[in-house]
């Protein structure tokens, strides 16, 4: 990875993209420390630290929630809106037709998703304010309703700005902007989490053996994620020879790469967002309802782990089908004179590709679900609770590999262009 970064930095065009990405992430991190006016930050930080779900959300917000900064809501409203739009696109024929209209249709869907993200950000800002209550506000002499409106507008504007930053990183920078924002949030919390682990060992809250087990498990998870993320099934393809004029074309052999984890890190992000959304809605209700929900659906509870695994399975298959369409691949092969040895062209080829896709996706989804849930369950049973865990490692490693692959593809494209020139 480091050699890829070093080689990419030497290329002027790619270096501009990397600098643009770093500057946008810097803007985001600065915004994560811009305080919202009229808030008692000490009270908010204490309330977040005492709640495991709050600490979990704060981890993926890069500490912006405990600081109650402009970006306290993080990227979760936009991700929730993306989930809703993806599901509605499958369920509603007008949206499905719009998604098939090419770039213009996708632009319209993206615009609707942005508005939905801002709307959800407004709802979550109100819910967050109600959760902390009036104790989180500083008495400045101004009417309480004006302070509350100011805070809600600041948080909603922060959500819109995060969406803008993420989309511009994707368009003009390197990597997926949304994934990189979550990645940089987790990375920013690593020193604090490491300090917390060491402090717990020093003061006797956890034993040194437990810390060693956690480190070994982290290394094992990183290794497993790397192997699974880089793993692929290569389907051999043979192209028939064709005579056009006086020249003969085709006849070469190649392969179709089918990745074990076609969807990358998005199933994990989507699954976590959906599980957090009911807790945010319940913040409108009484404290007893919130406590009852946490007792059943808190992080580490059996029902939470089962639903988390099922959602990972669902979104893994959903994105695999969206990113790799066996029917389209079969048609393209047939139109270009290609075929899979031993498989007839047309529907038999699409059925064969679909069968392989289901099998490798099942393995990838099972791996993601096990790695995301088992360490969390073990930590809950052992009484060792932390917002930073296997899910965070999954996201960090997956985003790193995805960004590295994009850099390699940029360098390969530039190499081809230079060769043609």
* pLDDT band at residue 421 using 50, 70 and 90 as cut-offs: very low
Each residue's pLDDT tens digit, 10-52: 778 888 888 999 999 999 988 888 888 888 878 887 777 766 5
Instruction: Tell me the mean pLDDT in the region 112-126.
Output: 89
Query: CA–CA separation, 74 vs 158, rounded Å?
Result: 8
Sorted by sequence, the CB contacts under 8 Å of residue 124 that are 6+ apart come out as: 73, 76, 77, 155, 159, 280
Report which DSSP code applies to 296.
H
Instruction: Tell me the mean pLDDT in the region 89-118.
Output: 83
Query: CA–CA separation, 407 vs 385, rounded Å?
Result: 36
Please tell me whether residue 247 adopts helix, strand or coil conformation.
strand
Instruction: Tell me the mean pLDDT in the region 327-339.
Output: 81
**Confidence at residue 381, expressed as pLDDT on a 0 to 100 scale:** 59
Q: What's the Rg (C-alpha) of the chain?
A: 24
Query: Which of 365 and 284 is assigned the larger pLDDT?
Result: 365
- Tally the C-alpha atoms within 13 A of residue 126's C-alpha that lie toward its C-beta: 11
- 113 φ, ψ to 5°? -65, -40
Each residue's pLDDT tens digit, 143-190: 788 888 888 899 899 999 999 999 899 888 888 888 888 888 888 877
**CATH topology for 1-204?**
Preprotein translocase SecY subunit (1.10.3370)
∠30-189-22 over CA atoms, to 5°? 45
Each residue's pLDDT tens digit, 194-251: 777 788 778 777 778 877 877 787 788 788 878 887 788 888 888 776 666 666 655 6
Each residue's pLDDT tens digit, 407-418: 887 777 665 544
Q: Would the pTM count as exceeding 0.85?
A: no
Confirm if 299 and 380 have CB atoms less than 8 A apart.
Answer: yes
Each residue's pLDDT tens digit, 261-312: 777 777 877 787 777 777 766 655 666 776 777 777 766 677 888 888 888 8
**Confidence at residue 161, expressed as pLDDT on a 0 to 100 scale:** 93
User: Which among 207, 391, 396, 200 is positioned nearest to 299, based on CA atoms?
Assistant: 391
Phi-psi region of 62 (alpha: psi -120 to 50; beta: other; left: phi over 0): left
CA–centroid distance for 112 within its chain? 20
**Confidence at residue 160, expressed as pLDDT on a 0 to 100 scale:** 92
CA distances to 108, 121, 165, 208, 403 from 180, rounded to whole Å, are 24, 20, 11, 33, 9
Query: CA–CA separation, 86 vs 95, rounded Å?
Result: 9
Q: Where are the domains of the chain?
A: 1-204, 206-386
**Confidence at residue 20, expressed as pLDDT on a 0 to 100 scale:** 92
CA distances to 134, 329, 337, 369 from 347, rounded to whole Å, are 63, 11, 15, 32
Q: Tell me whether domains 1-204 and 206-386 share a fold.
A: yes
**Confidence at residue 296, expressed as pLDDT on a 0 to 100 scale:** 75
Sorted by sequence, the CB contacts under 8 Å of residue 189 that are 6+ apart come out as: 58, 59, 62, 63, 388
**CATH topology for 206-386?**
Preprotein translocase SecY subunit (1.10.3370)
Evaluate if residue 139 carries a pLDDT over 80: no
User: Mean pLDDT for the chain?
Assistant: 79
């Amino acid at each position: 990875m480091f050699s890829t970064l070093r080689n990419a930095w030497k290329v002027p065009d790619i270096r501009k993209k990397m600098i643009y990405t770093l500057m946008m992430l810097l803007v985001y991190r600065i915004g994560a420390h811009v305080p919202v006016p009229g808030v008692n930050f000490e009270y908010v930080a204490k309330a977040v630290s005492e709640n495991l779900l709050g600490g979990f959300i704060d981890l993926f917000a890069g500490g912006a929630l405990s600081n109650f900064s402009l970006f306290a809501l993080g990227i979760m409203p936009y991700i929730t809106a993306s989930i809703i739009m993806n599901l509605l696109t499958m369920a509603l024929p007008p949206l499905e037709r719009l998604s098939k209209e090419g770039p213009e249709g996708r632009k319209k869907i993206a615009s609707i998703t942005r508005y939905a993200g801002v709307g959800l950000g407004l709802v979550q800002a109100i819910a967050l304010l109600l959760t902390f209550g009036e104790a989180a506000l500083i008495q400045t002499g101004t009417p309480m309703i004006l302070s509350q409106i100011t805070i809600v507008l600041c948080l909603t504007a922060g959500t819109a700005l995060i969406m803008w930053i993420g989309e511009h990183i994707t368009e003009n920078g390197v990597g997926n902007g949304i994934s990189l924002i979550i990645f940089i949030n987790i990375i920013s919390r690593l020193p604090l989490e490491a300090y917390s682990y060491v402090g717990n060992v020093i003061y006797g809250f956890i034993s040194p053996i437990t810390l060693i087990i956690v480190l070994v498990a982290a290394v094992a998870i990183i290794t497993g994620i790397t192997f699974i993320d880089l793993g692929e099934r290569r389907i051999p393809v043979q192209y028939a020879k064709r005579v056009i004029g006086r020249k003969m074309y085709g006849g070469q052999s190649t392969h179709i790469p089918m990745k074990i984890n076609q969807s990358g890190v998005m199933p994990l992000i989507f699954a976590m967002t959906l599980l957090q959304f009911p807790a945010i809605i319940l913040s409108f209700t009484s404290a007893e309802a919130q406590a009852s929900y946490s007792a059943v659906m808190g992080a580490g509870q059996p029902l939470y782990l089962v639903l988390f695994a099922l959602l990972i399975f669902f979104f893994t298959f959903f994105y695999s089908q969206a990113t790799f369409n066996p029917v389209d691949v079969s048609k393209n092969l047939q139109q270009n004179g290609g075929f899979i040895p031993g498989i007839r062209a047309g529907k038999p080829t699409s059925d064969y590709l679909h069968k392989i896709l289901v099998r490798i996706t099942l393995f990838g989804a099972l791996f993601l679900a096990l790695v995301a849930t088992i360490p969390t369950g073990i930590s809950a049973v052992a009484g060792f609770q932390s917002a930073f865990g296997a899910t965070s490692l999954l996201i960090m490693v997956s985003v790193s590999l995805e960004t590295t692959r994009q850099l390699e593809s940029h360098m390969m494209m530039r190499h081809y262009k230079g060769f043609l020139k």
